Structure 1
Amino acid sequence: MTTSVKPGPRERLLLAAQELTYSQGVGVGVDALLKEAGVARRSLYEHFGGKDGLIVEVLRRSTAEDAERYRSTMDAAGDDPRARLLAVVDRLGRIAADPDFHGCRYLAADLALTDPEHPGHEITRAYRLTLHGLFADEFVALGHARPGFAADQLLLLVDGLLAAGATRPDGEPAAAARDLAEHVIAAGLA
């Protein structure tokens, strides 16, 4: 006989918020979060100090998970830096083509959190720096003339692919992004 342990209120709030802030944005109401998590309002304040604290923890958790997915995608592509970078673009293209795709959680949060001092912005900035570092390392390994600039370009391309995937699903953002990524890679090689 196996017994399943139901997650506690903190974990249920995180799971509910991770799902609802992705599908509905960070503006999702507290009541909807509490209902989805099946917890009392008091749990939100005890564990996170309020909705803003919950949003920050969701972003922190999501960025850690997504950064690991980038690493895994790159590692699965082997040792060739070009293949590793293109694998990321290809994977994001597949994600953006999914009918349940709602866009980039981090771009949406940055746009919705209008207070520039909101602690969520610190999390999204750190996440982008992590991705920039991952990309720059690959460009360095490629011998790219401007690895930091190429990483900036690839990050811009990723943001564009994810935004276009959410707003123009009838287009071909994945194919366009891959073509542009090939140009970014080739532009700095001897």
Structure 2
Amino acid sequence: MTTRTVPGPRERLLAAAKELTYEQGVSVGVDALLKRANVARRSLYEHFGGKDGLITEVLRVSADEDEAAYRRAMLAAGDDPRGRLLAIFDWLDGVIQEPDFRGCRYLAAELALAPDHPAHAVTRRYRERVHDLLATELRALGHPRPDPAAAQLFLLIDGALAVGATRPAAHPAAAARQLADHVIGG
């Protein structure tokens, strides 16, 4: 006999918030979140202290998943640091072409949330971790200015994701890859 585990209210709230905040933005209403998760309002407050806590936790979980996706894309490119860095843009090109792509959830949240929202600490930390990932590859490549170059690569990533949300047919990740090649040097 097998038993099927049904996700609890916390997991359902996280899943609903992850979907709805990406589809509609972080300003999505609490009632829509509760309805999608099929939970009572009390569950939101018991597990997250309110919507701000839920949004913060969704971004934290998503950041871990997205950082892992960057690492997988780089790992799949092999041992060459240059190839690993450029592989990010090839991977992003595929991400942008997905039919449900809506842009960068972190940039959208940063723009929409009040300056004192606790989720900003999560997005800041996520950006630091991805920057460090890029800088580590640039150091391995022997780049003379790895930290500024990592910031430039991150700017290209942000730009590709932003343009990809509005004009995916322009293949902004491919254009960003060409610029990244110049930043990386050779």
Structure 2-normalised TM-score?
0.97
Amino acid of the residue matched to residue 80 of structure 1?
D
Tell me the secondary structure at the aligned position of residue 168 of structure 2.
coil
Summarize deviations over 1:135-185 as a string: whole Å, max 9, x none: 000000001111001100000000000000001123231221111111111
Partner of 1:126: 125
Contiguous gaps of at least 5 residues in structure 1:
none
Q: Distance in 2 between matches of 1:94 and 1:161?
A: 12
Equivalent residue number for residue 150 of structure 2: 151
Tell me the residue number matched to 2:79: 79
Which region of structure 1 is more displaced relative to structure 2, 93-102 or 14-23? 93-102
Matched residue, 2:26: 26
Q: Secondary structure at the match of 2:23?
A: helix
Shift of 1:74: 1.1
Q: Distance in 1 between matches of 2:171 and 2:48?
A: 40
Aligned pair count reads 186
Give the whole-Å Cα distance in 2 for the aligned partners of 1:71 and 1:99: 23
The two structures have a TM-score, normalised by structure 1, of 0.95
Q: Which residue of 2 aligns with 1:44?
A: 44
1:48, 1:174 → 2: CA distance? 36
Q: Structure 2 stretches of 5 or more lacking a match?
A: none
Detail structure 1 runs of 4+ shifted over 6 Å in the superposition: none
Give a deviation string over 1:122-144, Cα, whole Å, max 9, x none: 00000000000000000000011
Shift in Å at residue 4 of structure 1?
Answer: 1.1
Alignment deviations for residues 64-91 of structure 1 (CA, whole Å, 9 cap, x no partner): 1111111111111111000100111110
Equivalence map 1:155-170=2 (5 Å): 155-170=154-169
Match of 2:177 in 1: 178
Matched with 2:63 is 63
How much is the aligned-residue C-alpha RMSD, in angstroms?
0.9
The offset of 1:97, in angstroms, is 1.7
Matched-pair contact (CA < 8 Å) for 2:157–2:173: no
Distance 2:41 2:174 in 1: 45
Letter in 1 for 2:150: A
How many Å separate the matches in 1 of 2:164 and 2:2? 42
Q: Which amino acid aligns with 1:25?
A: G
